[in-house]
Structure 1
Amino acid sequence: MGLLIDGEWSTQWYDTKSTGGKFKRSAAAFRNWVTQDGSAGPSGEGGFEAESGRYHLYVSLACPWAHRTLIFRKLKDLTDHIDVTVVDAKMPDEHGWTIPEGADPVNNAETMWQVYVAAKSDYTGRVTVPVLWDKKRNTIVSNESAEIIRMFNSAFNDITGNTDDYYPEELHDEINEVNERVYHTVNNGVYKSGFATTQEAYDEAVTELFDSLEWLEDKLGKQKYLAGDQLTEADWRLFTTLVRFDPVYHGHFKCNIKRIADYPNISRLVHELVAVPNVKDTIDMDHIKTHYYWSHTSINPHRIVPKGPLIEF
């Protein structure tokens, strides 16, 4: 994955030399919020009112961060109100995320970096998905998945009539506490393990990862969901990493102390969430495996995509 420097594409990879071999993820650059009345959200500026057909979502079916937004688009009945562009499974080193011909009706872009430049001509930073685009103002609303799913959770309720709440006020503290650990040690922990370039950095990341999986297994042995008896965003944020774990992260990212299949309580959660209506439709395992094994040539230089393991949800 490259980046843009003053609006110019560069194939520069993450600088792990300056971090002692550790992978460090960049913070999202676009942090505006869609709200019911267009007022400003917790960050960014106002002017992004919830309207049917106004917003467009750019995603990868392989990316766990983008997968969150696709799930919430389904859960909150937004499929008729927010359209989607899906990038290619294969991410060439020289272009980053690429877009199939004719797949972008909004910007007619061939790469995701062109979408970013369309929003900010001198943008400097990583080019990531998901991206929520505003067709009215011709700019990026947000490229922070955690915030996009919260917008989807509540901003469009008056339009869809769907008031299901995956971030209920009375559970904010519990959800936020779980999210904090899961993000740093599991969601991002698999990447810290897989992209580490020293033994010490890998050992630290993979140890934290499996310590947290044990913690999650114990928690789910005492309660149905991560924040208690109610399904919340905390479960969905973890879920998109879990479905990729055994087929990709276990082998490709060397997260191989255990499989998710070896954790009965975590496995129970995965199977239960897969069974939620329309969620299984958001999982494309061929796309997922092709992206990781083909695109990360620093880890898999021959781009061989393994046949297994057989995952039955």
Structure 2
Amino acid sequence: SLLSRCFAPLPLSCHRWACFAIFQSISLEGWTDIMYTLQDGWSLWGARMFFFLLIVIGAMFVINLALAVIADNYDSATEREKKLLEEERRIREEEEDRSGVTQEKANRAAKKKKDADARAAKPRSPAVEKIRKLVESNGFMAFIMALILINTLTLSAEHFDLGYFNTSLYQLASSLPVNSTNFPLRGSIEVNTTAELIQEGPGGLFINGTNVNLLSMPLWLGDLLEYSNYVLTAMFFIEMVLKLVGLGLRGYVKSGFNVFDGVIVIVSIIELGIYQLLGGGGGFLSVLRAFRLFRVFKLASSW
């Protein structure tokens, strides 16, 4: 019947059923019936020895070893899974931190943009807009560069004319009282004057109260350079005022060259003030005047 066949011992007539029989014996389920069948069909002591080794090695050692390996692999897999979860949590927290910082930066940038848009949205008068377009035009920049070039040339035009100096000093000293004291001049001219009447002062010699410029340039050239200095300083001051009006204070200080020009304009005005109040400034005035030569850097950068 079907029931008797289900509970009958597995046959050992082929490899497939033999493997099933060994697996069933290792599981300790019905192995005695299989051993009895093998005793009847093969050998009494041979079957007993085979099943003794099979139960001891297979059921007690191999099965436990397999279970230990499976448990160890399960623990390793659990540990790896735990580490992966911790790594994923750490990465997620770092991403959240970065996203928080990024969001904060984005909020600050949005606030700055909003403030800039609000400032830009403020209505500008047509006159201010025209001034802004003027100071940003290429023609205006070319005009300023030309003024810088002229200013550099005028500053470099100051020179020392030895022949003119000796001639002027000779003409002035000839009108002074003469005694036995000799006053040597640079060059081959020697004039007899009173030594007490000749004194050295800042920027020149004072002969009988009369100032003789050490540069000793022709008067027309000195006057031309002086008036050019006034005009150029006024032009650069007007440029600064136009940029402040057209660009605003924030727009003006954004450019390093604008700040540089503003400092030079202020220094030039201080120089002119000292010159007008004191009638000269000696070495300090020369330093302030030479400071304007730094505008040549702006001229070089435009090239």
Task: Indicate whether the TM-score tops 0.5.
Answer: no
Report the structure, 1 or 2, having the larger helix content. Answer: 2
Choose between structure 1 and 2 for higher RCO, CA contacts under 8 A separated by at least 6 residues. 1
> Greater CA radius of gyration, 1 or 2?
2
